[in-house]
Amino acid sequence: MKIRRTKKSLIKIIFFIALFSFSMPVLLCKEKVFTIKSGIHYFYPSEQSTKDIYGGRAVIWGEIDIKIWRFLDLWLTASYYNRRGNLPFTKQATRLTLIPLGGGAKIILKSGKINPYVALGPVIYFYREKNPIGLVKGNKVGIISQAGCYFKVMGGLLVDISIDYSYCMVRPQRIKADLGGIKAGIGIGFEF
């Protein structure tokens, strides 16, 4: 019992040392180092059966960027896709929910008002499909990439235009399916 408490205390100490180590450059930096963005993307699935049953749809997305070094940011992103459709043969109602959470490294070519960027990292897809045949749900890790540009409007306010591509192959009930696809859209954000 005492070993377990010691182990938990050691984990807490390591966590706070790591947090302090990573936050010090951010706290000492005079530049804006934290960006929050949100907006709407149009999601176009890669999988043909997903296109046939559910089609594309506008999705809500959010993103957090934390400056690590000069032009390198830590990038975290999430979106939400929820769509009803009809099964191909029986025409019975079905619903698909996808929640991808991703992140990684983002390289930003900062040049004042116009700032292009590219990003790459892992993504975990949480998925759920429910219809009269049954319920399929789970999660799987894939890869996500992003390219875009944000425009500084005034102060910390910015407008972001981006395109994402993600790939996440799942095999629920022995049927292969790619949950990823292309998303493109616009958002607004604040940099501080």
Domain borders along the chain are 1-30, 31-191
The residues, ordered by sequence, that sit 6+ positions from 147 with a Cβ below 8 Å of its Cβ are 116, 117, 118, 119, 162, 163
pLDDT of residue 1: 46
Is the pLDDT at 161 greater than 90? The verdict is: yes
Least confident interval from 43-47, 53-57, 141-145: 53-57
pLDDT average, residue stretch 117-137: 91
Q: Nearest Cα to 41, choosing from 56, 54, 55, 60?
A: 60
pLDDT average, residue stretch 41-49: 89
pLDDT of residue 167: 94
Residue 122: pLDDT band by 50, 70, 90 thresholds?
Answer: very high
The residues, ordered by sequence, that sit 6+ positions from 6 with a Cβ below 8 Å of its Cβ are none
Is the pLDDT at 16 greater than 70? The verdict is: no
User: What are the tokens at 144?
Assistant: 């996500």
Is the pLDDT at 140 greater than 50? The verdict is: yes
E strands, 46-179, are 57-69, 72-86, 93-108, 114-131, 134-154, 157-167, 169-170, 177-178
Cα separation of 87 and 134, whole Å? 12
Residue 62: pLDDT band by 50, 70, 90 thresholds?
Answer: very high
Cα separation of 113 and 13, whole Å? 41
Is the pLDDT at 69 greater than 90? The verdict is: no
pLDDT of residue 112: 82
Q: Are 144 and 166 a contacting pair, CB within 8 Å?
A: yes
pLDDT average, residue stretch 15-26: 56
pLDDT average, residue stretch 58-83: 90
pLDDT average, residue stretch 106-130: 92
Answering whether pTM is above 0.75, one says: yes
pLDDT of residue 14: 66
- Count the neighbouring beta carbons within 10 Å of the beta carbon of residue 132: 9
Cα separation of 67 and 29, whole Å? 10
CATH, domain 31-191, list 2.40.50.140, 2.40.160.20, 1.10.760.10, 3.10.20.340: 2.40.160.20
Bigger pLDDT: 57 vs 184? 184
pLDDT average, residue stretch 84-91: 83
Q: Nearest Cα to 141, choosing from 119, 169, 165, 118?
A: 169
Please tell me whether residue 77 adopts helix, strand or coil conformation. strand
pLDDT of residue 41: 92
